[in-house]
Structure 1
Amino acid sequence: MKTIYYNKFDELDEFNNLNVINAFEKIEEIISLNLENRGMDKIKLEGQLKSCVISLNTSDTVVIVTGFAIKSAKIGETDGPPGALALAYALENLNKKVIIVTDKYSEVFLRDGVKILNLNSEIYIFEENKENEQASEIIKKYRPNHIIGIERPGRSVDNKCYSMNGDDITLFCSNTDLLFIKARDNNIPTSAIGDGGNEVGMGKVRELVSKYVNKGNLICAEVETDNLLIAGVSNWGAYGICAALSIINNDMVMYDEETYEEISNEMLKKGAVDGCSKKNEATVDGLSYEQNLKVFLKLRLLSQMNFKSLVV
């Protein structure tokens, strides 16, 4: 994979005159690229990034839920785990405890990523037929202050999980919805990042997903979260949160381009597939490695700028 040297000077003038509030708006603009491909551009939410980031920033323990299995490949996709690892890295650099919840289809990507990043994050594997007990255990054992899903399938109104094309993938999706339901029952703030309507958290905008997204009435996830970030690629939403955390803490908590490339390469070696093409290739949701990296680097550059105010 060829390293790309991003011409940051193209963005400097655009970023220099921003204050923190405008910077958050710019992050939301960047992560919203590509939404029109699935009709998600019609769904408008305000203040979700700010609310999510403030809650994460004041948390001591955060649970990150990720991993989206591809039925034909019987392994996880390239969207989700990279964003989860980036967020875990950012949170640990802010001295927070992180637990990453996933399933057997994405486990290897996350374990490898934790090693690459030298994280202390614990990996917790959600298993079929043990979900209710495991959800309760996570709440009781770790006492999280925030739970966030990143490209994690959620169950539709018929209690099944679906691919973007409406294929039933329930057998490949341990029911992590229960963790978000128990979080609500225990007054634990929740967030989610999704890009297609079939991810946990999308219950917040169910009517809009049903109206604008292909097969939205069938695939839309039923569980809603307190905060919902809709991104062109779910990884981008996670990178956007990392950029925002860097800004409000005046501390770079995003890893660099070389680390980004190392994680991408390792996932490919372990068989990760693109969720759209279903192929083991260096793309995410049908977008090239170069396109995804450019978004990451643009957000990283934004997170490095000096802003006029740190009041959010």
Structure 2
Amino acid sequence: MPDIIGDTVDRLITVEMRNRAMNHGIIRQIYDEARREGGGRPITARAAQALADRVKPGDTVLIVTGAGYAPEAPNGESDGPPGAAALARALFWGLRAVPVFVTEPCHAPPVVASSQAAGIMVRDYPLAKSRRMGAALMTSPTEQHAVAEWAAGIFETCRPAAIIAIERLGPNVDGILHYSTGVRPEGCVDLSPLFDEARKHDVLSIGIGDNGNEIGFGRIHGFMQDFHPYCRRCQYDGGKGVPTIVATDIFLPASISNWGAYGICAMLAFLCKQQNLVQTPELERKIVTACLDAGGWEMRYCTSRFIVDGTEGESSMAIVQLLRDMVRVNIAPPDRGLSHGDIDR
């Protein structure tokens, strides 16, 4: 049964809606390759089951996000923080975990705002850990040379059971972070050493992305180097392409990274038999609006319009409604109603 609903969830979150001038007509092929490489099962089902198996009450789960930089989007974008908040909410209520957001300082305001709009308060880590009073936040150094030691310290302090990246840029073969169309942002920090620590400590890692440049895509790097529109080129001389080399244990591509997170939430809701682990459409509006108001702008025109990755916010509201209904009908007792006869015949 998990694979039946998982297949439907995966189909929904990979419905592509993109302007022709952007990288388009690619998500289904990327998803098919990621699913094949991962063994063939629906990816949201695999990710949710892995979390349910590995994360026990009171365990810490790191959620790493943040994309978009000055001057275009100095506090990041509206894809990433809402998905991170949704995951934190599902992990907190469904698995009784302690979510810890990990991001750069510039991305912290939209992350905190999104989480608090979702009803998950962001507290000091000792309070969140000892009394499970919401999520916590840890921000990175602003200098790359300090990141590896900082990442090791997080794993020493938190001893996480899992780490999830959502819409978090990862380095390419030259160690450079890129936007999806080969633009190289300035003033950014590579947080992939966190995933080096995850491998070192045998911690479950999950990556969610939508365009090749996000942590997780390293699992299908060879495919992306031959398939992605900016597979081996960038918008500057000498660039070797945007696909990241950073892999995770499970990788989920989605049309919009937030939608990938919502898909995992739906599968956790199914496993936990709790429909409300997927936010309502009204709560989705509140979360995305809080993100936008805190500076996590829509990335196409860098404004606070109710848009995520070029799609109207109402589309994301519709996605979560469909996911909630998928969960509802699949956890309900078998029932044909009054017009279809005896269920045993």
Q: Mean Cα displacement is larger for which, 183-192 or 28-37?
A: 28-37
Between stretches 36-45 and 65-74, larger displacement belongs to: 36-45
1: CA distance, partners of 2:10 / 2:187:
31
Give the alignment of 1:1-312 within 5 angstroms.
19-34=1-16, 37=24, 39-43=26-30, 44=32, 45=35, 46-47=40-41, 48-58=43-53, 59=55, 60-71=59-70, 72-94=72-94, 95-116=96-117, 117-119=119-121, 120-129=134-143, 130-169=146-185, 171-217=186-232, 218-252=241-275, 253-307=277-331
Aligned-partner Cα distance in 1 for 2:323–2:307: 19
Contact 1:131 1:178 in 2 (8 A): yes
Matched residue of 1:271: which SS?
A: coil
Residues 21-46 of structure 1, C-alpha deviations (whole Å, 9 max, x = no match): 21010011011110782523222113
Cα distance, 1:215–1:132 mapped onto 2, change above 3 Å = same
Cα RMSD of the aligned pairs, angstroms, is 1.8
Quote how far apart the aligned CAs of 1:307 are. Answer: 4.3
For 1:166-224, what per-residue CA distance to the aligned partner results, in whole angstroms no more than 9, with x for missing partners? 1112x443221000011111111111000000001111111221222111231001111
Q: CA 1:34/1:251 → structure 2, altered by over 3 Å: closer, same or farther?
A: same
TM-score by length of 1: 0.88
Unaligned runs of 5+ residues in structure 1 are 1-18
**2-structure distance, mates of 1:286, 1:223:** 26
What is the TM-score of this pair, normalised by structure 2? 0.80
User: 177-186 or 265-274: which moved more?
Assistant: 265-274
Structure 2 CA distance for aligned equivalents of residues 307 and 115 of structure 1: 28
Identity of aligned residues (%): 28
Report how many residues are paired: 290
Aligned-residue offset at 1:306: 3.2
3-state secondary structure, aligned to 2:308: coil
Q: Distance between the aligned counterparts of 1:254 and 1:52, measured in 2?
A: 16
Q: Which residue of 2 aligns with 1:8?
A: none
Distance 2:15 2:286 in 1: 24
How many angstroms apart in 2 are the aligned matches of 1:216 and 1:277?
Answer: 24
Tell me how far apart the structure 1 counterparts of residues 8 and 222 of structure 2 sit (CA, whole Å): 27
Query: Is the contact made by 1:268 and 1:282 (CA closer than 8 Å) also made in structure 2?
Result: yes
Amino acid paired to 1:65: V
Give the match's secondary structure for 2:163. strand
| Deviations 1:2-22, CA, capped at 9 Å, x for gaps | xxxxxxxxxxxxxxxxx3321
Is the alpha carbon distance of 1:67 and 1:38 closer, same or farther for their aligned partners in structure 2, counting shifts above 3 Å?
Answer: farther
CA displacement at 1:250 relative to structure 2: 0.7
Query: Equivalent residue of 2:206, what SS?
Result: strand
Q: Quickly say closer, same or farther: Cα 1:234–1:158, change in 2 above 3 A.
A: same
Retained in 2: the 8 A contact 1:193–1:230? Answer: yes
Instruction: Point out the more displaced range, 46-55 or 227-236.
Output: 46-55
Greater radius of gyration (CA): 2
**Counterpart of 2:138 in 1: which secondary structure?**
strand
Q: Per-residue CA shift, 1:151-173, capped at 9, x if unaligned?
A: 0000111011001111112x443
Instruction: Tell me if structure 2 keeps the 8 A contact 1:38–1:213.
Output: no
**Secondary structure in 1 matching 2:282:** helix
Amino acid at match of 2:265: C
Question: Which residue in 2 is equivalent to 1:15?
Answer: none
How far apart are residue 308 of structure 1 and its match?
Answer: 8.4
1-structure distance, mates of 2:141, 2:324: 35
The answer to whether the 8 A contact 2:14-2:254 is kept is yes
